[in-house]
């Protein structure tokens, strides 16, 4: 939703507010001044609903723009974070072998697997007899 849509909605909201003011002025001229009676007027309710709907749509547009800005900031921060460790990685890699050499640790050879139950070979199994159809005699 671009700037053009935002301007259109702002114009619609202003128009609805102007119509609402005119209607309330007309009702005041007729002698209806209490908010309780003006709220019952169907035209007033319709105009208030239009203003409220325009406000909701404008708020949705601003929220969307804000999320876009936040995403752009997060993306820029992620790019900056990726660029910074690239400079430090060679130094970090150089330190790791030095530590291993200093400690003098050697890798232990892997032990043999524990003796478990032997598994039967897959190809030596005897074929299973075909199953008989349910509820009937074999044909």
Q: What is the pLDDT of residue 20?
A: 95
Instruction: Return the SS3 of 30.
Output: helix
Question: How does residue 82 score in pLDDT terms, banded at 50, 70 and 90?
Answer: confident
Compare 85 and 4 and report the one with higher pLDDT: 4
- Phi/psi at 132 (nearest 5 deg)? -80, 150
Distance of CA 57 to the CA centre of its chain: 20
What does the alpha-carbon distance between residue 33 and residue 61 come to, in Å, rounded to a whole number? Answer: 36
What does the alpha-carbon distance between residue 127 and residue 130 come to, in Å, rounded to a whole number? Answer: 9
The pair of structure tokens assigned to 97 is: 């072998």
Residue with structure tokens 């209607």? 23
pTM exceeds 0.85 for this model: no
Question: How does residue 106 score in pLDDT terms, banded at 50, 70 and 90?
Answer: low
Does residue 47 surpass a pLDDT of 90? Answer: yes
The region, left, alpha or beta by phi > 0 then psi within -120 to 50, assigned to residue 104 is left
Compare 74 and 33 and report the one with higher pLDDT: 74
The pair of structure tokens assigned to 68 is: 């876009």
């Amino acid at each position: 939703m671009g700037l053009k849509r935002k301007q259109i909605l702002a114009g619609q909201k202003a128009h609805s507010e102007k119509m609402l003011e005119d209607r309330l002025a007309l009702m005041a001229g007729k002698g209806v001044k209490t908010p309780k009676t003006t709220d019952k007027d169907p035209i007033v309710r319709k105009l208030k609903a239009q203003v409220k709907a325009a406000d909701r749509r404008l708020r949705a547009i601003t929220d969307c723009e804000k999320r876009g800005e936040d995403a752009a900031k997060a993306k820029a921060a992620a790019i900056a974070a990726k660029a910074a460790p690239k400079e430090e990685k060679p130094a970090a890699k150089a330190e790791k072998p030095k530590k291993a050499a200093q400690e003098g640790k050697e890798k232990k050879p892997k032990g043999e697997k524990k003796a478990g139950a032997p598994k039967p070979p897959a190809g030596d199994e005897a074929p299973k007899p075909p199953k008989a159809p349910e509820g009937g005699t074999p044909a």
